[in-house]
Amino acid sequence: MIKIRERLYISYLFIATLIVIPASMFLSFYIRFNFIPAPKGIPDIHQYILFFIVAFLVHEFILYLQGFFKFKLKKGVLDTLYEVFFNYFSTIFIALAFFSYLRSYNFINYEISHKFLLVYFVIGIVCLSATERFFRFILKKSYQNPKNRRKGLIIGFNETGKKLSEKLLKYKDWGIDIIGFIDEGKSNEVFKGISVIGDYENLEDIIINYNVKDVFITIPLKDYDRIIELIRIANKNLAEIKIVPDIIHLLSIKAELQHIEDIPIINLNDIPLKGWKAISKRILDLSLSFIGLIFLLPVFVIIAILIKLTSEGPVFYLQERVGIDGKVFKIIKFRTMVKDAEKDRGPVWSPTSDDPRITKIGRFLRKYSIDELPQLINVLKGEMSLVGPRPERPVFVEKFKKELPHYMLRHKVKAGMTGWAQVHGLRGNTSIDDRVKYDLYYIENWTLKLDLKILWMTFLRLGFVDPNL
């Protein structure tokens, strides 16, 4: 029932965008040319039809890439506004570039009014955001209706069962009310206000008496015979069965259920960053790194001169780092230490401010992460991304992967110039365990919006400043 309702929500939202986006275009045209002075005259609306078609297609494509049509329990007003803002900004930029190309080859001989684009930008964001929030409000209201809520039962008063109950209590809008746990020999025990209301043998009576519609089985998979019997009882009483495997504690990245014909397969450590999502991330990397290198070229020249004037040695420093799939690549940095700095001491993880090997100009470059800017070349080459887990040297990767069982999962995606851990202050000589937690959160929850948020936070929170120097 819940899945059906979510599918209806997604279907209705998609259909609504097919109406709202074109309607906002025509409304914007009407407002622009009827309420705002037009010195060049009012154009024939037919001239704008091609723009409407191109913009509409781009809108829908970007909405798909953003995961706009996927139901997400935790999505606030600001999340919606951010998504829609980025969608309209990108669409107008792409559409303008396309029409500039058409005009340059004389395929068309008119311009799209900039005031129209401004009006469209504002009205479009308001209309689409309001539409998404309206359908979410309707869905939420439908879940709040007692007739649409379902009774749920958790089998297994254990760590997994308790964790599941916390999530279901947190997301009441999902439409499930947990009436209790059942487990052997734990009657009347309570967790977060939810009691153990019976043993396994009471399952059928509880389903009937409480009208239970959803049964969550969280007992260990080793109790195979018992699980089969519980499933048989639940099936007999038309309750939906959901198995939450006790191996959940082994998962640090989201799992995905796949099928090979009629055989279900659980794909552990699946990542969302693939397909069109990976392509959109690569497009962002290429465009921003290319623009960044062009604008920073004069800065690079000045830094190169300062490095050469203040110490012997090359301008750039190439260092081996471990990237995606555990492959080693050479990261490019401005040299901040004396020549042959590791000849005597060897590799040092996160040098401190009093390290005598750091040059005067190098200390400044390291503090403000200016030495990292040449990594834009690594991004352009495809060895890194603008956003991702920071890459470590092979010697430290070997050390950390022995100490932290989930450490290597960071290498499921490209290493980044900045990351979720860095914008939360985890850089330099900070806990590697905490960094891994933030890196895995990033991998599990990746969206293009999250990448843009991290880039913005890097500057907003001065995430590029090393407090240890």
Q: pLDDT tens per residue, the chain (469 residues)? A: 556 667 778 888 999 999 999 999 999 999 999 999 888 888 889 889 999 999 999 999 999 888 888 777 667 787 788 889 989 999 999 988 888 888 888 887 778 898 999 999 999 999 999 999 998 888 777 777 777 788 999 999 999 899 999 988 887 777 889 999 999 988 889 999 999 999 999 999 999 999 999 999 999 888 989 999 999 999 999 898 988 877 655 555 666 666 666 676 666 666 777 777 788 899 889 999 999 999 999 999 999 999 999 888 899 999 999 999 899 999 999 998 888 777 666 666 566 666 778 888 988 898 888 999 999 999 999 999 999 999 999 999 999 988 887 888 899 899 999 999 988 888 777 788 889 989 988 988 888 888 988 998 888 766 566 666 5
My answer on whether 139 and 155 are in the same domain is: no
One domain, residues 110 and 194: no
In this structure, is residue 212 part of a structural domain?
Answer: yes
Does residue 466 lie within any of the structural domains? no
User: Within this chain, do residues 80 and 175 fall inside the same structural domain, yes or no?
Assistant: no
Give domain status of residue 76, yes or no.
yes
Over the chain, what HEC string results?
CHHHHHHHHHHHHHHHHHHHHHHHHHHHHHHHHHHCCCCCCCCCCHHHHHHHHHHHHHHHHHHHHHCCCCCCCCCCHHHHHHHHHHHHHHHHHHHHHHHHHHHHCCCCCCCCCHHHHHHHHHHHHHHHHHHHHHHHHHHHHHHHCHHHCEEEEEECCCHHHHHHHHHHHHCHHHCEEEEEEECCCCCCCEECCEEECCCHHHHHHHHHHHCEEEEEECCCCCCHHHHHHHHHHHHHCCCEEEECCHHHHHCCCCCEEEEECCEEEEECCCCCCCCHHHHHHHHHHHHHHHHHHHHHHHHHHHHHHHHHHHCCCCCEEEEEEECHHHCEEEEEEECCECCCCHHHHCCCCCCCCCCCCECHHHHHHHHCCHHHCCHHHHHHHCCCEEECCCCCCHHHHHHHHHHCCCHHHHHHCCCEEECCCHHHCCCCCCCHHHHHHHHHHHHHCCCHHHHHHHHHHHHHCCCCCCCCC
Same domain, 194 and 290: no
Q: Does residue 31 sit in the same domain as residue 131?
A: yes
Shared-domain flag, residues 403 and 454: yes
Are residues 285 and 241 part of one domain? no
Do 40 and 113 sit in the same domain of this protein? Answer: yes
The answer to whether residues 425 and 309 belong to one domain is yes
Considering its fold, how many domains does the chain have in total? 3
Domain region containing 32: 2-144
Same-domain check for residues 332 and 202: no
